[in-house]
Each structure stands twice: as structure tokens, then as C-alpha cells.
A = this chain, B = another copy of it.
Amino acid sequence: MLKPGQTIGILGGGQLARMLALAAAPFGLRCHIFAPEADSPAFDVAYAHTIADYADEPALARFAEAVDVITYEFENVPAHTAAFLAARRPVRPDPQALAITQDRLSEKQFLTSLGLPLAPFWEINSLTDLEAALAVSGRPAVLKTRRFGYDGKGQVMIREGDDAAAALAQLGTAPAVLEGFVPFTREVSVVVARALDGRVAAYDLCENNHKNHILSQTLVPAQVDGKATELALQYAQTLASSLGYVGVMAVEMFVVGESGDEQILVNEIAPRVHNSGHWTIEGAETSQFAQHIRAVAGWPLGSASRLGRVRMDNLVGEEAEDWLVLLSDPQAHLHLYGKAEARKGRKMGHVTFVTPE
């Protein structure tokens, strides 16, 4: 168990690490950020930082020496990096959660092993595999790389008439998974925390809208049947417990079927704090960032109760130029991430609105 005054090491220096560091400070904890990019937004609010590649073992060793526990803001931490660090300091969540969730195939196999509902999937290592799978899945179906996909990158939809070989070529030679198409009505997520002592606390079900495959808006609570909502929360809690997870994670899910008969399909796990949980900063008793810090510090979780109806709008690219308008709205809670350049598709900030229920 950490004590105030001790230091949390965070791999990755983006907005998630930045908000983690801001949440750690009121507990009297220090953060040391490890990231390769010299202009990482998290550096601005952290006690210390290391600029080095994730493969730089001497830098990793010094980092481990300087901190008391290690966590990360992104799921693509190289396995070797995680193992190297875990030999020196507690890494939370455990590198096993990374290993399972970094690979879409192992993740889906894990979900299946727990009996959780998900879209049908096929392992694809060749055009033969793909053609055989498509014969069963029908079209449309979605071909995805097993690793390193995010925000719609590394996936291609195969529709009626599309050339399977061309789709496979588009992903390069990477091992892939074919997913049966899910005619979902909504995309939802559950942000859930698990403490070192095994206690689990889930935030309310989030409804997520995307633009160009990037999260655009989160509404809480999601407008989903009570029974389906219950199941979604239960699936997330089952996953956190089954992984022996310590920290905050998000489980993205699809809702299919009509109201009154809605079903939940699990899509994927993000083993970290998540964009669909940013609303918790003002909208919940304990933010997902404070919750993650509590968990990785080995402390009891805070309350995940919601404080009202919540809307979170992402500010992507030039949308952040509206900052002065948002500052002038007394209902708007503005968050900017301190990024210098508002590139197209880059998450620059978000804004949260909480309305009493």
C-alpha cells in the first residue's frame, strides 16, 4: 500500500496520464511520467518525467528505481517493457491484462471462455482463412488487425462485392480477425474499477456516439433497457474480477435489438482509464482518474455514484478553438489537454455538462 508522498510511475504522457497526475496530487502522491515524446502534455503537471523509448532498458531501470508502483495510460505497452518493469516494481494493472487485451484474438477467446456474449469471430492468417470465414459470416463483415488498432485504424469493412484479397492486403501482413457484422442500435461502455482487495465498483452505463471512428459524445445514463443495463454492468464486473485486474478499465459493448428486447454484445476491453469515463470528473463522486490512482496505490475505492445526468463532448481538432465560448457557458466544465498543435482528428480537450436529475 502506498503512502502519501510516494511516487506513481506512469507509462505514456498524453491526456490520460495528465488527468491521472492531476488526480494523484490531491492524495499527496507524486507522478513520474515515462514517454518518448518530448512535448508530452502530462509532463506539465508531473513531479518528474523521463523522455525515452519504451525499449530503453537503462532508462526503464532508472524509472523503476525512482517510483513505488507503475501504471500506464495506453494498452500498447510492449510486452517486454511491461515484463522488465514488473520484475522491479509492482505494475498495476498486471501485465497479463495487457497481454490478453493487446491481441483481439486472445481477448475474444478470453471473453468466450467466460461465457460472455460477443459477435462471431474467426482467426485469419491467410486469404484461405478469410474466404472460409466469409462463407460462414456472410457480408458485411469487419476485418481487423489483431494488434495496435484504435479509433478505427487497422480495420476494413468487407461488403457485398468487395475483394477479400484487397481487404487483407489493406491491413498489410498483420495477423487478423474477422468479425461478423453487428447491426447495433447503440454503442455503450462500462467503466469499472477493481481494488487490490478485490472490491469492484462500476460507473453507470455510458452511451457513446462516434464521428469518423472517434468518440464524439458520451451520455450518461445510457437509454437502454434496465435488464440489458444490469447485464452490461455485470459483464464488466465479471471481466475485472476474472482478470484479477487492479485499476480502472473500460468495456465497450454493442446494444442490439429493439427496446424491450435489447441484448448486449461485448466488443472490446480497454485496460486503462477511458475517454468514455471523462464525465466522471464532475459527474461522479469519484473521478475515474482518482479511482485508478486509489486502486494502483492499493487503497480502498471511492464512490462511483453519479451526480446527475451527464453529457461529455469531445473537442477534436479545431473544435477546441471554441474554448472562449465554452468558458462563457456557466454550465460547461472545460478541459483542455495542453497540446500545442490542433491536428485533424487529435483529441484536444472535452467539455462536460451535469444536470440535476
Contact = CB atoms under 8 A, between A and B. Distances in A.
Nearest to A294: B327
A120 to B, nearest CB: 41
A44 B25 contact: yes
A340 B299 CA distance: 20
Given A22-B26, A25-B22, A28-B349, A4 B330 contact: no
A320 B336 CA distance: 32
| Interface secondary structure of A, over-half rule | loop
Interface in A1-32: 4-5, 18, 21-22, 25-28, 30
Contacts of A327: 27, 294, 299-300, 302
Interface size class of A (residues with CB under 8 A): 35 or more
Given A28-B336, A327-B299, A47 B44 contact: yes
A303 interface: yes
Contacts of A27: 327, 334, 336
Number of this chain's copies in the complex: 2
Interface in A23-68: 25-28, 30, 44-47
Nearest to A336: B28
Given A21-B45, A45-B21, A45-B45, A26 B330 contact: no
Contact of A4 (B4, B47, B338): B338
Contacts of A303: 330-331
Contacts of A173: none
A294 B328 CA distance: 10
A285 B299 CA distance: 28
Interface of A: 4-5, 18, 21-22, 25-28, 30, 44-47, 285, 294, 299-300, 302-303, 320, 323-324, 327-328, 330-331, 334-340, 349
Given A28-B349, A45-B46, 12 more contacts: A4-B323, A4-B336, A4-B338, A5-B338, A22-B26, A25-B338, A27-B334, A28-B337, A28-B339, A294-B327, A300-B327, A303-B330
